Amino acid sequence: MYLDSAASSLTPEQVVLKEMEFYREYRANVERGVHRFSQMASEEYEHAHEDAARFIGAPSKANVAMMKNTTEGINLVANSIDWKTTDKIVTTVIEHHSNFITWLRVRQRHGADVEVVRSSTEGLFDLDDFEKTIDDNTKLVAVTHVSNVLGCIVPVKEIIEIAHDHGAKVLVDGAQGVPHIKTDVMDMGVDFLAFSGHKMLGPTGSGGLYIADAELGTTEPLCIGGGTIVDVSIDDYVLAVPPMKYEAGTPSIAQVIGLGEACRYLNRVGMHNIEEWDLKLANRLLDGLKDIDGVEIYGPKDPKQRVGLATFNIKDMNSHDVALTLDLEYDIATRSGHHCALPLMKELYKLDTGNVRASTYLYNTLEEIDALIDAVTEIAKD
Q: How far is CA 194 from CA 9, 34, 65, 325, in A?
A: 17, 32, 10, 35
The number of helices, as runs of H, and strands, as runs of E, in the chain is: 14, 13
Q: What does the pLDDT average to over 94-121?
A: 97
Indicate whether 144 pLDDT > 90: yes
Alpha-carbon gap, residue 200 to 323, rounded angstroms: 23
Please name which of 270, 250, 246 lies closest in space to residue 64, comparing C-alpha atoms: 246
CB-based contacts of 19: which residues, under 8 Å, 6+ apart? 203, 254, 255, 257, 258, 261
Please name which of 206, 186, 137 lies closest in space to residue 166, comparing C-alpha atoms: 137
223 is catalytic: no
Indicate whether 193 pLDDT > 90: yes
Q: What is the CA radius of gyration of the chain?
A: 21
Instruction: Enumerate the CATH 3.40.640.10 domain ranges in the chain, comma separated.
Output: 13-269
pLDDT above 70 as % of the chain: 100
Alpha-carbon gap, residue 71 to 69, rounded angstroms: 5
Q: What does the pLDDT average to over 1-19?
A: 98
Q: pLDDT-based confidence at 32, cuts 50/70/90?
A: confident
Q: pLDDT-based confidence at 317, cuts 50/70/90?
A: very high
Return the CATH architecture of domain 13-269. Answer: 3-Layer(aba) Sandwich (3.40)
* The CATH number fitting domain 271-381, selected from 3.90.1150.10, 3.90.180.10, 3.40.718.10, 3.90.1170.50: 3.90.1150.10
pLDDT at 82: 95
Peptide bond into 251 cis (omega under 30): no
Indicate whether 137 pLDDT > 90: yes
Of residues 152, 223, 263, 340, which has the active-site annotation?
340
Please name which of 136, 211, 126 lies closest in space to residue 170, comparing C-alpha atoms: 211
pLDDT at 27: 96
Please name which of 65, 39, 53, 28 lies closest in space to residue 253, comparing C-alpha atoms: 28
pLDDT at 204: 98
Average pLDDT, the chain: 97
Indicate whether 120 pLDDT > 90: no
pLDDT at 211: 99
Model pLDDT for residues 284-302, shown as the tens digit of each residue: 999 999 999 999 999 999 9
Instruction: Enumerate the CATH 3.90.1150.10 domain ranges in the chain, comma separated.
Output: 271-381
How many residues are given for the chain?
A: 382
Alpha-carbon gap, residue 41 to 54, rounded angstroms: 20
Indicate whether 329 pLDDT > 90: yes
Q: pLDDT-based confidence at 14, cuts 50/70/90?
A: very high
